[in-house]
Every structure is written in C-alpha cells, then in structure tokens.
C-alpha cells in the first residue's frame, strides 16, 4: 500500500474537521515484489466481469475509494455512473455517505468529496486501495492511519473547489488526474466479493422494489426495471446513475465512534465484521442469507442454509443497514 507521509491540510467534510494528517504520497506508492510468470485473472476485482480483449485487470493505480456525500445538498452527485461498486454507510444525524469504488473505469469528475469515518476501516480493502477524502476528525485520522489505509485529502492530486456549488459540498476531484499521479507497477487487487455467474443462486422470492432504512429520516429505495436496479431517490443526475445489477443489503451492528460532530450529534461507527442477516436482490428476486466476515479486513462470505453463495458478476451496491426489525423491506 502507499506510504503515508505527514502533511498539514484542511479537511472539509463532516462539519469542517481539521487535522495534521498523514497522506498517501502517490509518488511513493507500494510496488509489489517481482513475481515470475504472474498470471493476472481476466476479471475485474470489483465486479467479476471479464475484461475486454486486449485489456488487463492489472492497473498502475490502486482502487480509488472516493467518499461522496449522499444528501440533497450534494445534488447532482458526479461519477457514480462509472463506478464499479458502492457501499452506503450510516453517518451522524441518521444520514448516509457513500464509499464509491473506482478501478476498471476512472471518471474525469467525481464528488462532492466528503470526510472519512472509522467505519471505513471495515469497508476499504486492506491492500491496493486508497481513500479519496476531504479529511476527517483527528481521532478518525489516527485510527485510519493505524489501520494502514492510505488516503489523499484536499490539496492532493486532482482535488479542486467547484465555484458553482456551495461549501462544503463543492470539493470535487478530477479522478483521472489522481489515478495518473501514482507511480507503481501494474497490479490487480484481490476480488472484493466472491464472484460467480449466478448459477448457484437459489430461486428466492419475487421482489421488484425494496427499501433499506438507515434511520427515521433516511431510506434508500430501489426499483427493478427488468434490467438494472434504479435508485428512485438518488442524488445523482439521471444520466450518471450507478448501474446496479445487484443490491446486497446487510444488517450490521452500529456503535459509537466516541466523539460528536460540530452540531453535537454522536458519530456512529458501523461494525463491518462478525455476521448478520443478508438480503441479496438480483434479477427481480430476493434471497435471504447470512453474511460472515471474520475480521474487518476479511473478505465477505454469504451462506444460504449451509450453502456458500457467490455474487453474480456485475455492479453491486451494498447497503450496510443498522440491525433492527423491518429495516430491509421489499414488495413483489
């Protein structure tokens, strides 16, 4: 992973956090040891989709996990249409934030970029990934750094302020510039999820609409249109929607991160490890399963009545929903 160096930059997410924060230095990025006759899998690590002829899944940049605001104030979100995978997580005030994963495609523009949370330790891959963020509170910076997760914040390659947007929702990133700033040997990250072709999926039940409720004030809603799942209350532009082939809703435990935001709200921390209930929505049907993750850095696995499931190759949106009754609902 990239080397962390000290820099004094101003964060602009999560209520104007400020810190003297270690930064990912793209010029000193991790370079894996030379391997003889290394065979690079011919599928993308974040989707399981086979690469096109003449392409390779080994890139000269890491996975760029970009923290993007998910409120009406962020409209229109930019870049989601070119993302490989999205994880939605709870933040303070009952709202949510997106960890948007870019690798097979890198958009020119993405954002609005906001701050990290300790929850990201269980979301961001432990190797070959860098967080693109506005910054974070000091306690979060320390925990992210202790976890060995590199990040780039405001002032880093590609970051800029869009004068047509209101602060703090105006920090954007030319993500192509960020990707080009890395100097490393081409490497393919490990698969983020256990990918398959869908042949092992149980029939499940018909489910053409669903809702993932994070709080009394926010529920993310989806509708299957016969091809993809459409986020019907998305903050992205109509032509920049995430093309979800699968929505994976996971009930998780949520704790207290141990500090308050500037408005006095407790900051929640998603515990993305252990096990819990899972709902896999694919092709207009739902399969109820159990998810397992031995540690924050482990790969997720899914179990259905003793059978290990794979995720159908494609674009997946993961909802990390607080555990509770009727937090994941659907209709035929």
Q: Which of 180, 212, 240 is where one domain is finished?
A: 180
Could you tell me if 234 and 128 lie in one domain? no
Task: Look at residues 145, 180, 215 and tell me which one is the last residue of a structural domain.
Answer: 180
pLDDT for the residue numbered 134: 97
Reported as a single tens digit per residue, the pLDDT across 80-104 is 999 999 999 999 999 999 999 999 9
pTM of the model: 0.89
The confidence score (pLDDT) of residue 132 equals 98
Res 26: pLDDT = 55
User: Which residue among 147, 180, 213 closes a domain?
Assistant: 180
pLDDT above 90: residue 116: yes
* Confidence category of residue 8, pLDDT binned at 50, 70, 90: very low
Query: Does 199 lie in the same domain as 173?
Result: no
Whole-angstrom Cα distance, residue 317 to residue 248? 6
Identify whether 143 is part of a domain.
yes
| Tokens (6 digits) for 302 | 């899914």
Residue 29, pLDDT score: 52
Residue 216 sits in the same domain as residue 171 = no
- Domain co-membership, 175 together with 218: no
Mean of pLDDT values over 105-122: 97
Range of the domain at 27: 4-31+41-180
Q: Is the pLDDT of residue 142 over 50?
A: yes
- Nearest residue to 289 (alpha-carbon basis) of 301, 271, 272: 301
* pLDDT on residue 9: 35
| DSSP assigned state of 275 | E
pLDDT value at position 22? 52
| Judgement on whether residues 9 and 130 belong to the same structural domain of the protein | yes
Higher per-residue pLDDT: 187 or 21: 187
Q: Are residues 21 and 166 in the same domain?
A: yes
Tell me the C-alpha distance between 160 and 178, whole Å. 11
| Mean pLDDT (whole number) for 224-251 | 97
User: 10-14, 73-77, 198-202, 317-321: which has the minimum mean pLDDT?
Assistant: 10-14
pLDDT, tens digit, 9 for 90 and up, residues 201-231: 999 999 999 999 999 989 999 999 999 999 9
CATH of the domain at 233: 3.50.90.10
One domain for residues 134 and 53: yes
pLDDT at 187: 96
Same domain, yes or no, for 229 and 176?
no
Residues 46 and 119 in one domain: yes
Range name among 2-11, 127-136, 176-185 with the lowest pLDDT average: 2-11
Question: How confident is the model over 67-88, as a mean pLDDT?
Answer: 98
The answer to whether the CB of 113 falls within 8 A of the CB of 68 is yes
Percent of the chain with pLDDT over 90: 83
Q: Nearest 5 degrees, angle CA 263-CA 269-CA 275?
A: 155
Within-domain flag for 269: yes
Q: Are residues 63 and 210 in the same domain?
A: no
Residue 312 lies in a domain: yes
6 forms beta bridges with 22
Rounded CA gap, 198 and 34, in Å? 35
């Amino acid at each position: 992973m990239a080397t962390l160096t000290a820099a004094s930059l101003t964060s602009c997410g999560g209520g104007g956090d400020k810190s003297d924060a270690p930064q990912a230095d793209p010029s000193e990025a991790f370079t894996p040891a030379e391997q003889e006759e290394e065979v690079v899998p011919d599928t993308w690590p974040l989707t399981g989709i086979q690469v096109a002829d003449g392409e390779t899944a080994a890139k000269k940049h890491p996975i760029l996990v970009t923290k993007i605001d998910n409120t009406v104030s962020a409209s229109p979100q930019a870049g989601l249409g070119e993302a490989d995978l999205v994880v939605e997580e709870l933040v303070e005030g009952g709202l949510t934030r997106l960890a948007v994963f870019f690798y097979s495609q890198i958009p020119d523009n993405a954002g609005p970029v906001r701050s990290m949370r300790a929850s990201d330790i269980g979301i961001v891959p432990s190797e070959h990934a860098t967080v693109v963020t506005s910054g974070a509170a000091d306690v979060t910076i320390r925990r992210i750094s202790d976890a060995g997760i590199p990040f780039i914040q405001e002032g880093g390659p590609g970051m800029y302020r869009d004068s047509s947007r209101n602060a703090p929702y105006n920090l954007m990133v030319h993500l192509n510039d960020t990707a080009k700033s890395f100097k490393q040997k081409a490497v393919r990250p490990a698969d983020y999820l256990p990918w398959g072709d869908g042949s092992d999926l149980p029939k499940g039940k018909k489910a053409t609409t669903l809702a993932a409720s994070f709080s009394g004030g926010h529920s993310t809603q989806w509708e299957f249109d016969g091809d993809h799942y459409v986020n019907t209350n998305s903050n992205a532009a109509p032509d920049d929607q995430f093309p979800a082939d699968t929505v994976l809703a996971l009930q998780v435990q949520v704790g207290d991160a141990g500090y308050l935001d500037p408005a006095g709200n407790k900051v929640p921390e998603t515990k993305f490890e252990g096990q819990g209930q899972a709902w896999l929505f694919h092709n207009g049907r739902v399969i109820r399963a159990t998810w397992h993750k031995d540690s924050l850095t482990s790969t997720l696995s899914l179990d259905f009545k003793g059978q290990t499931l794979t995720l159908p190759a494609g674009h997946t949106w993961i909802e990390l929903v607080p555990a509770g009754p009727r937090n994941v609902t659907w209709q035929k």
